[in-house]
Structure 1
């Protein structure tokens, strides 16, 4: 579309309402009102000018503030829905997510899963909403800030009569000694820290223009903030996992690409003693029982040396020893291991004796590692025991069949096959804590409980966040924009000579009372009347 040339000679973009240079009205329909709409200086916004191509329609859609607000509202509602039930990453792995949600929460849990709310924050549609908010912020800002910047940069000191008359603050004063009056006013303007431009004896005093960019600085901060949020879904950018390590165990640290291992040398728990510690804690200790004073894991960090084939034990190099306490994490290569949980006296191993019922004499002993049980134990002299099934956290399901609730040995149970010289085909026995079942009738042999061993377990949170600095930068820029737009005002005062008259007009983007009071102080003693508020006169 063609550009519009004003009578002052300035060439304006198509759709401009007020000439960027002199301020005359370029669109006939806009010339009827009493006051100018100065929100965007009458500049040509793309969204208000073009609406033909698909690009124009997409631009106009995202440039709407209403659309941006609705996108934020819908995203907030969706975010709230994701907190009703635990997300998939926080549920036990004993069954599929579909089964878990229906089993634990009934029809609502099933519907919750089918709608995809179980993995909401990494779902494609949620990310689309986040990205749409970012696109809306970018387009809204460009659609407004570019023409506004151009209009403020191009503005002349001497504005058209109609422009001055249709400002909210406008007044005319008859004066004789205009030069002397102008000098006094300029001194007062400088005292108020106005930037003064002069042209043909006319004055444009301006200050606080940078406050007009406050909302757009806000948008920049929010865009950086959203980028940080979306980068958290990029593999390796954000990690928040948990690893349970038993005393004496060496375990691969998750999300380290198989490079780092951690050995738990021991776990220490200290509790408050009402007789030794601060007496102020006595009542709380009596009410709560045991209260942890400190719990820590003494660990060794290892790094893998070279490559290893599948099944081969990795060669490890010691990196450092460290005592991980609450809020004192072990840090390495951008990772941090936090002491967050613990479990005391978890079952580690169980010992059994193979016994002939009639003689009640042990024929052999076996010790089962509850975390890595073997499938067969040779007791010697032709006696052996096979583990046919193992249930670390045993319970019966609705059909009366044994199953495990988790991989943690909270309530171990076994299906043993006992092989003896006189019973080469073996005898089957189901053994759990304080429970023995012989499904095929009375056996001649049984597995008799002999003892247990326990270990403490440390729960360590593995955290890595390469996006945190983006949130900090985005938040800082956002707050700069808030202060920029909230605590400063863009104020302009036009003072024009016209024959024996002095015309005064004023405009601000907010706090009109402050501008009127400041103009009164500037014109005080100059003989120029304060301009009238034409909006109040209505």
Structure 2
């Protein structure tokens, strides 16, 4: 597309509305306007100029303010849907049973919510696409308008054509008795006193203040882009970790998210306030308030080159007591004390007995965290553990099911082998219940006692995106402040040798501040009184409307 050559001889890019040099209107639309549109000083905006290629159409789509606002609304609405029910990351259950958890706890709505993928909303691909489209919209809209605005303000001329001056909102025209240099000197002095930057070109003057305020919205955009980048970086491995592990007393576990690090729970300590009134007996779980609960741990690290999961040659890093609001910090990670469980089942003891005589053939102790497959009692007597369900929840097609990996309701399928029953007898044993699926057994596994221990829940967190989110938020607020509390004021003044003065002024907002400065400089330099063309236009439209009403009334009479 060809450039547009103005009457002054300056060649302007295609799509320019006001000549970059003299300010003459270049389009028929601008020539008909009594007050010119000064949002971008008449420069060419790509989205309003080109619309032929596929790149132009994509650019124009994302640069649209309507599209940007729509994406913001869609993002806010979809993000709010993720708060209706807890997200999967906060559900303390194995991944395999999380869908059943939503249905069990929240009914049909929970099942529907999970099936729609809302239970893992913020990590879903479609939500990230929406956030990405919003970021692209902000970037393209900023480039589309910010760059032309910056160029137009940087290259603006002091001298402007009268057609440009007379199409500003604030205009003044008249005669002065003083010499042109004296008038310009007074105006320059007064405007500098009011903190304006003043430039002169012969008999013309341009006073400008607060240009930076025009870039407040674009500073907002930079802050938003950084904030969105921080949000999306949480999906990149190494930037954000929020995991939880349950560590039982005496247990050493790998720390999720911290490769090569292990934690040993040496002891769990619970201190309580006794709020029981005097004379009343303290009951379990009643009137008991935790004063402090902490986990005494030892942090280990694998040596370099060790196989993942190998705990044979761990190197001790430190001992620490993790308490509420006193996390262990290591290599950018923070380990928080988040919860605990008292008297969790550790081991169940069973005695193999003859059902008729009651004779005991020996006892076995089954570690509920890591049970063995077979227990040898000697003399040809052994117990095989065929199936172990830590949290027995019933049968599905004859197979026992577990609701979780925690030993809340352990159940066992034993095969008991003795010299009298070399083929073995099968028995399914759960708490207070024994099932003999293959018929009557001669022997049984009789409950003989339990061992318990405390467990603690440790949350591992690492967030490298916080500085990015913080900086983005600060930049956004700076942009809001700049766009809200400052404005861009400009005054053009041209004095002819015969004393004729043409003056124009523009402000992007808060016209009262501009008029206040104009009143001061007009009085000081003896300039002609200015007029607000928007007020004049409004009066003309009101008079025309009243005239039409009177004319209709005369016709009626």
Q: For the superposition of Structure 1 and Structure 2, which TM-score range results when normalised by the shorter chain?
A: over 0.9
Contact 2:175 2:528 in 1 (8 A): no
* CA deviation profile, 1:418-463 (whole Å, cap 9, x unmatched): 2222122222222222222233444332222221111111111111
Contact 2:220 2:476 in 1 (8 A): yes
| Aligned position for 1:298 | 296
| Paired residue secondary structure (1:524) | helix
1:258-273 aligned within 5 A: 259-273=260-274
Query: More displaced, 26-35 or 302-311?
Result: 302-311
Query: More displaced, 62-71 or 164-173?
Result: 164-173
> How many residues are paired up?
529
TM, length-normalised to structure 2:
0.89
Contact 2:296 2:320 in 1 (8 A): yes
| Aligned position for 2:547 | none
Query: More displaced, 458-467 or 5-14?
Result: 5-14
| Paired residue secondary structure (1:305) | coil
Contact 2:350 2:445 in 1 (8 A): yes
Using the TM superposition, give the Cα deviation of residue 524 of structure 1 relative to its aligned residue in structure 2, in angstroms.
Answer: 2.7
The whole-number CA distance in structure 2 between the counterparts of 1:361 and 1:378 is 18
Contact 2:297 2:319 in 1 (8 A): yes
| Paired residue secondary structure (1:379) | strand
1:80-99 aligned within 5 A: 80-91=80-91, 92-93=93-94, 95=96
Q: 1:4 to 1:534 in 2, by over 3 A?
A: same
Using the TM superposition, give the Cα deviation of residue 20 of structure 1 relative to its aligned residue in structure 2, in angstroms.
Answer: 1.7
* CA deviation profile, 1:24-65 (whole Å, cap 9, x unmatched): 101122210110011111110011111111111111111101
| Aligned position for 1:69 | 69
| Aligned position for 2:193 | 191
Contact 1:237 1:467 in 2 (8 A): yes
Query: More displaced, 303-312 or 370-379?
Result: 303-312
| Aligned position for 1:509 | 508
Contact 1:94 1:405 in 2 (8 A): no
Contact 1:94 1:404 in 2 (8 A): no
Instruction: Answer yes or no: is 1:382 the counterpart of 2:380.
Output: yes
1:495-506 aligned within 5 A: 495-498=493-496, 499-506=498-505
Instruction: Answer yes or no: is 1:369 the counterpart of 2:371.
Output: no
Using the TM superposition, give the Cα deviation of residue 110 of structure 1 relative to its aligned residue in structure 2, in angstroms.
Answer: 4.9
Contact 1:137 1:223 in 2 (8 A): yes
Contact 2:171 2:503 in 1 (8 A): yes
The whole-number CA distance in structure 2 between the counterparts of 1:509 and 1:230 is 35
Using the TM superposition, give the Cα deviation of residue 98 of structure 1 relative to its aligned residue in structure 2, in angstroms.
Answer: 5.5
| Aligned position for 2:518 | 519
1:446-465 aligned within 5 A: 446-465=444-463
The whole-number CA distance in structure 2 between the counterparts of 1:90 and 1:267 is 23
Match of 1:433 among 431, 434, 439: 431
| Paired residue secondary structure (2:43) | coil
The whole-number CA distance in structure 2 between the counterparts of 1:463 and 1:490 is 46
The whole-number CA distance in structure 2 between the counterparts of 1:338 and 1:274 is 27
| Aligned position for 2:5 | 5
The whole-number CA distance in structure 2 between the counterparts of 1:267 and 1:99 is 32
Contact 2:302 2:311 in 1 (8 A): no
Contact 1:141 1:216 in 2 (8 A): yes
The whole-number CA distance in structure 1 between the counterparts of 2:372 and 2:200 is 94
| Aligned position for 1:411 | 409
| Aligned position for 1:31 | 31
| Aligned position for 1:279 | none
| Paired residue secondary structure (1:187) | helix
The whole-number CA distance in structure 2 between the counterparts of 1:26 and 1:312 is 77
| Aligned position for 1:204 | 206
| Paired residue secondary structure (2:462) | strand
Q: 1:529 to 1:311 in 2, by over 3 A?
A: closer
| Aligned position for 1:281 | none
Contact 1:93 1:406 in 2 (8 A): yes
The whole-number CA distance in structure 1 between the counterparts of 2:286 and 2:35 is 70
| Paired residue secondary structure (2:483) | helix
Q: 1:408 to 1:219 in 2, by over 3 A?
A: same
1:112-123 aligned within 5 A: 112-123=113-124
The whole-number CA distance in structure 2 between the counterparts of 1:366 and 1:380 is 12
Query: More displaced, 228-237 or 305-314?
Result: 305-314
* CA deviation profile, 1:75-98 (whole Å, cap 9, x unmatched): 222222333344344442273555
* CA deviation profile, 1:282-325 (whole Å, cap 9, x unmatched): xxx99972222221111111110143458864410001111111
| Aligned position for 1:315 | 313
The whole-number CA distance in structure 1 between the counterparts of 2:103 and 2:267 is 39
1:332-351 aligned within 5 A: 332-351=330-349
Q: 1:323 to 1:103 in 2, by over 3 A?
A: closer
Contact 1:171 1:503 in 2 (8 A): yes
Instruction: Answer yes or no: is 1:40 the counterpart of 2:17.
Output: no
The whole-number CA distance in structure 2 between the counterparts of 1:146 and 1:487 is 23
Contact 1:519 1:530 in 2 (8 A): no
| Aligned position for 1:280 | none
Using the TM superposition, give the Cα deviation of residue 9 of structure 1 relative to its aligned residue in structure 2, in angstroms.
Answer: 3.5
Instruction: Answer yes or no: is 1:171 the counterpart of 2:169.
Output: no
Q: 1:379 to 1:310 in 2, by over 3 A?
A: farther
TM, length-normalised to structure 1:
0.92
Q: 1:308 to 1:149 in 2, by over 3 A?
A: closer
Using the TM superposition, give the Cα deviation of residue 416 of structure 1 relative to its aligned residue in structure 2, in angstroms.
Answer: 1.7
Q: 1:248 to 1:8 in 2, by over 3 A?
A: same
Using the TM superposition, give the Cα deviation of residue 7 of structure 1 relative to its aligned residue in structure 2, in angstroms.
Answer: 2.8
Contact 1:2 1:14 in 2 (8 A): yes
The whole-number CA distance in structure 1 between the counterparts of 2:523 and 2:275 is 75
| Cα RMSD (Å) | 2.4
Contact 2:323 2:336 in 1 (8 A): yes
| Paired residue secondary structure (2:423) | strand
Using the TM superposition, give the Cα deviation of residue 10 of structure 1 relative to its aligned residue in structure 2, in angstroms.
Answer: 2.9
Contact 2:21 2:156 in 1 (8 A): yes
Query: More displaced, 187-196 or 497-506?
Result: 497-506
Q: 1:324 to 1:310 in 2, by over 3 A?
A: closer
The whole-number CA distance in structure 1 between the counterparts of 2:309 and 2:441 is 39
| Paired residue secondary structure (1:425) | coil
